[in-house]
Amino acid sequence: MTDGHTSLGMPQLPAPDFPADVRARLEADAKDVIARYPSSRSALLPLLHLVQSEEGYVSRTGIRFCAEMLDLTTAEVTAVVTFYTMYRRKPSGDYQVGVCTNTLCAVMGGDAIFEELKEHLGVGNDETTTDGKVTLEHIECNAACDFAPVVMVNWEFFDNQTPESAKRLVDDLRAGRPVEPTRGAPLCTYKQTARILAGFPDERPGAVEATGGAGPASLVGLRLAKGEPLAPRVVHPRAEARDSEPRDNGTEVGEE
């Protein structure tokens, strides 16, 4: 409550503007983005990434800038910012470390990785280390189930992680040591990633050529469609034991 009124979490206006030189640079970039769309308001998502590339999150100033450039209200911009989780609402680290805790990654070890990283870094979900290097969060599925459990750093893939490998990863990030994703483009900072997502050229060496294919599980259906032979099925020992257990009618699985 403030002065008898309920706060709805909306930005307090007027928000401060960017410094003149920053404003001029962002305006030039924003006009470039807006020109790509038949309707200016369609440029809101990339413009939010643009202001995020400047400050590392979408501030009140960034919301004001987007609203003014697109002739929208700050309420309209705020509604979009608060809907999408890729837009940060508070200062974040140079590296956004996201641990997938959706169903498959969770049961394959994602939950354990997330818990150990919280303890190792001394932060909770959506919190940043004191050195400003790493922001930790749990994330939803990133369509990499073949490689579960998956950790994302600034939306680049680190596949088949364990608690130990994930802790080495964040230690390397904090120490400034080179880190290479399992597949895809080279790693860059969160601000640099935001500028790429705003639609500006990806200038990382080898980024355009970088790629990452599907894993073996996803390719099974393709091989079946092509009539190709499949690799022998790997059966867990518990599954073999379960298959040999007699059913209620006295028959074993596979004997019918």
Residues in the annotated binding site:
100, 105, 141, 145
Q: Give Cβ neighbours of residue 71 (< 8 Å, ≥ 6 apart).
A: 40, 41
Radius of gyration of the chain (CA): 24
Q: In whole angstroms, what is the distance from residue 172 CA to residue 97 CA? A: 12
Helix (H) or strand (E) holding 75: helix 74-81
Query: Closest Cα partner for 221 from 149, 146, 140, 143?
Result: 146
Q: What is the identity of the amino acid at 137? A: E
Q: Give Cβ neighbours of residue 35 (< 8 Å, ≥ 6 apart).
A: none
Give helix then strand counts, H and E, for the chain. 10, 5
DSSP 42: G
* Residue stretches of the annotated binding site for [2Fe-2S] cluster: 100, 105, 141, 145
Query: Closest Cα partner for 88 from 52, 61, 124, 60?
Result: 52
